[in-house]
Amino acid sequence: MKDSERIVVTGLGAVAPTGYGVAENWDSVINGRSGIGPITLFDSTDNKVHIAGECHYDPTPGGFSERDAARYDRSVLHAVNAGLEAVRDSGIDFANRGDNHDVCIIMGSGIGGIDNIQKTCGVMFEKGPGRVTPFLVPSGTADVGAHTIAMRLGIHGFTCGVATACASGNDAISTAFLRLRGGFEQVAICGGSEAPVCKLSIATFANMKALSSWDGDGDPKRVSRPFDRNRSGFVISEGAGVIVLETLAHAKARGARIYCELGGVGQSTDAYHVTAPEPTGHFVSLAIRQALERAEVSPDTVDYVNAHGTSTHHNDLMETAAIKTVFGENAYKLWVSSTKSMTGHCVAGCGGIEAVFCVKAIETGIVPPTINYEEPDPECDLDYVPNKARERKIRAAISDTFGFGGHNAVLCFKRFE
């Protein structure tokens, strides 16, 4: 394959409940520290669920004044802060390389600015339509994270928002990968961001019975327990993960530091149910196979799976079945972990954040654990790296994300040779 068709990772950025920046987040997850706690962003007294994963940081490094930070939806603040960290990490000086028309920015957002929509509806119902802000649409629709990063950096290539529910982050990265491989651009800033910790979204997810109502014996950090027999639903959270991709030719020409290669992507749709996954995992298996085939990676050289692992019964069983289908006996040699046990479920943010974790696992040889794994589920019998990180040379890793509506998106990262 030509260097212009090989796609490498050169920059990482992350904002999550487990920390601000990649270094803090990585230190948290490899040491099993959860970012889940009581909700503080609003009064949750009337809600059925009172815990979430929240991000607390000063957004000014992303170029937001106090006034701007109040106007934009939090999903945009997260996207821009993670995006600018990834760009700094890549070492690309966009300010001094022309009009940057060969750079695309693709960001996923499953829900968009739901908190701003909720607040604006409150103003309209209480004070009338004349008091509604004209900034509602440009404050947090699915494309705002991408074009706000573009404005900060002077990027004039293609920018786009991708909305495929919880698969949005991986689908954004997949879209960027395919554009670079197709020769449309040479550099991509891509990932996912979400800020669903608000009264409205927690109410609808809770009434859907998707969120855990178990109090973890009073400890919110114990509630998210993927693949554990006593799991009872996921914990909603917020955050963003962004990676910088380049063609190998472009990265070599500028002497870039290369983390790893994004070898292939896989995408499919269950077309089964509005929320539940297709139980056999057949179409998830298809997406995994596509990613491996496009990466030219054989199943027996994959060492790590960052699972979608939501801590719901339907997802955990389906994902386990799909992994077995693709990897056969080698499935029992894989290390599979769900970092959502610590970050919670960041919707579109998960794809970006978990892509960062896969890249760090390849770079460091450390695989983060699935915490709160106390009682094995007989139907989920793989090695889920329970409770403590492990060390292993990772030749290839895949990251799974699946969204309501049956969206399946899989990324395959591999060591750069």
- What the block records as the tokens of 343 is 């970050």
Q: What is the C-alpha to C-alpha distance for residues 114 and 172, in angstroms, rounded to an integer? A: 20
- What the block records as the tokens of 23 is 């270094």
The residue from 308, 350, 380, 412 that is catalytic is: 308
The separation between CA 143 and the C-alpha centre of its own chain, rounded to angstroms, equals: 16
The residue from 345, 350, 358, 407 that is catalytic is: 345
- Kindly give the residue spans of alpha helices, DSSP state H, lying in 264-347: 282-295, 313-327, 340-343
Q: What is the C-alpha to C-alpha distance for residues 160 and 184, in angstroms, rounded to an integer? A: 14
Q: What is the C-alpha to C-alpha distance for residues 354 and 349, in angstroms, rounded to an integer? A: 8
Is residue 166 annotated as a catalytic residue, yes or no?
A: yes
The packing angle between helices 282-295 and 313-327, to 10°, is: 50
Of how many residues is the chain composed?
417
Q: Are the C-beta atoms of 372 and 228 separated by less than 8 Å?
A: yes
Is residue 345 annotated as a catalytic residue, yes or no?
A: yes
- What the block records as the tokens of 270 is 């269950």
DSSP string, 114-162: HHHHHHHHHHHHHH-GGGS-TTHHHHHSTTHHHHHHHHHHT--S-EEEE
User: In sequence order, which residues have a C-beta less than 8 Å from that of residue 201 and are 6 or more positions away?
Assistant: 111, 114, 115, 236
The residue from 104, 160, 166, 190 that is catalytic is: 166
- What the block records as the tokens of 354 is 């978990």
DSSP string, 349-364: HHHHHHHHHHHHHHHH
Q: Which residues are designated catalytic? A: 166, 308, 345
